[in-house]
Amino acid sequence: MSIKDITIVITSFKSDQKLKKCLNSIDKECAVINVENSDNRDHKDTIEKEFKNVKCILTRKNLGYGIANNVGLKEANTKYVLILNPDTELFPSTLENFLIVAKQYPDFAIIGPNIKEDKKEYFLQNEEKNKDLNYLDVKETNEVKGYAMFLNISQFKEIGFFDENIFIYLEEIDLCKRVTKKNKKIYQCSNIFVYHEGGKSHEISVNDEMELSRNWHWMWSSFYFNKKYKGFILSFFIALPKLISAFFKFLIYFLIFNKKKREVYFHRLSGLINSIIGKSSWYRPKI
């Protein structure tokens, strides 16, 4: 096995600067598919000109994280695919260690790495130690975080990939749940490191609108996920305290003329109500 057995799929939206940092951390021999959730031709031209190993696919509209990742996954023709967020960066041993674990556990469906929030700390440690087989600590688990997921494509033929009803949030937990239900293996390796900035995949200029979108979709996805696995009635009672809380907080902030907080809780309330009444995850950030 080699790095050429891996395709990296990165879904982006308004995240050019973060994406370039991520792409600069990737071995140039590794194929990368960037699925950009827009019709930004300048983005595609710039990325493909600067990074010869990257193919950029424009979705023409904001499809969401799960659907866009599925676009990239279907385009990949390698044995393994590494799903990455744009606000991640790889370390020199990351891809090599994924391949080592894949060779040791050929039955795996997903391998999750360990998050590293301080790049300087990593490089102060011994990089050779991180390459040593004896130091790789692998444990079976039920789920991994979505910022970096190493997939064994052959294991997903009967499962499919991400649930396309989910625009964003809990799509990776849903995928992991379906994987374990089929008795397929998910592993976590504490010695495979990926730097993740966290919650900063987009540019600063769109923070306010993205915050509203996050609140809407978190509430929508939470109810949808619970309903999918626990049924409507139990999910409604789980969501009821959140529904009441969002309503009263919206009312309070409306009465004291706090527009920013009012908008946040309006979007939380709207996302939850739309999910409860069975509407699709239709909200899109206004940018």
pLDDT tens digits in sequence order for the chain, 287 residues long: 789 999 999 999 988 888 999 999 999 999 999 999 999 999 999 999 999 999 999 999 999 999 999 999 999 999 999 999 999 999 999 999 999 999 999 999 999 999 876 666 655 555 555 555 456 789 999 999 999 999 999 999 999 999 999 999 999 999 999 999 999 999 999 989 999 987 655 556 567 888 999 999 999 999 999 999 999 999 999 999 999 999 999 999 999 999 999 999 999 999 999 999 999 999 998 87
- How far is residue 282's CA from residue 285's CA, in Å, rounded to a whole number? 10
In the chain, the number of structural domains is: 2
C-alpha 151, offset from chain centre: 13
Q: Are residues 31 and 140 in the same domain?
A: yes
Q: At what angle do helices 171-181 and 207-230 cross, to 10 degrees?
A: 30
Give per-residue pLDDT as tens, 86-113.
999 999 999 999 999 999 999 999 999 9
pTM recorded for the entire structure: 0.90
Among residues 196, 218, 248, the one where a domain terminates is 196
The answer to whether residues 187 and 255 belong to one domain is: no
**Within 10 A of 155 (CB to CB), how many other CB atoms are there?**
16
Tell me the residue length of the chain. Answer: 287
Among residues 196, 218, 249, the one where a domain terminates is 196
My answer on whether 104 and 242 are in the same domain is: no
CA distance 4 to 7: 8
Q: Which structural domain, as residue segments, surrounds residue 173?
A: 3-196
CA-based radius of gyration for the chain:
20
User: Encoding tokens for residue 143?
Assistant: 């789920």
Instruction: Pick the last residue of a domain from 196, 219, 249.
Output: 196
Asked if residue 283 is part of any domain, the answer here is no
pLDDT of 124 reads 53
28/114 same-domain check:
yes
The answer to whether position 285 is within a domain reads: no
Residues forming a β-bridge with 34: 10, 56
Q: Both 144 and 27 in a single domain? A: yes
Looking at the structure, tell me whether residues 51 and 148 fall in a common domain: yes
What is the structure's pLDDT at 44? 95
> Integer distance in angstroms from the first to the last C-alpha of the chain?
43
